[in-house]
Amino acid sequence: MARVAAAEAFETRLAGGWSHGAIIPENADSMTPSDGAAFLYVHFPVARSEQLTFGTPGQNVFREEGACRMVIHVAQNSGLDAARQWASELIDLFAGAAFDGVVCRAIDGPATDNSNENGVYYQLAVAVAYEFDFTA
């Protein structure tokens, strides 16, 4: 599970850079749009930390390495032009970016195959590997 500060940094950056539908964070009290409107689901499927420095308690540096997975949902049979463009915009927003203590790495584009279909939606996922340093 991502540290709160790392997750909030991603949410803040998304709020200023995503304008193509609702942003639904993991385990939120939100419903997916019933009309098939596009939305973005955001979660943090993996995070692990290691201690970088040893010494005075409360002043040691730790590094969290994890991934933020953002899943674009568009209506089935609506084509992929918009979803691919939005995925590219997410990649541009996060690839190599540093913000609020988060450092993002290179990002590959989303894969497409039959597993992208989910009910009334077609999904494209972009996963952002990140590092987040903190003291404890």
Domains of the chain: 4-135 (3.30.2000.10)
Neighbour tally for 9: CB within 10 Å: 19
Neighbour tally for 31: CB within 10 Å: 8
- The answer to whether 136 and 72 are in contact (CB under 8 A) is no
Does the pLDDT of residue 61 top 80, yes or no?
Answer: yes
At residue 56, the pLDDT reads 85
Does the pLDDT of residue 54 top 90, yes or no?
Answer: yes
At residue 33, the pLDDT reads 82
Instruction: Give mean pLDDT, residues 15-23.
Output: 94
pLDDT-derived band at 69, boundaries 50, 70, 90: very high
At residue 112, the pLDDT reads 85
% of the chain residues with pLDDT over 90: 74
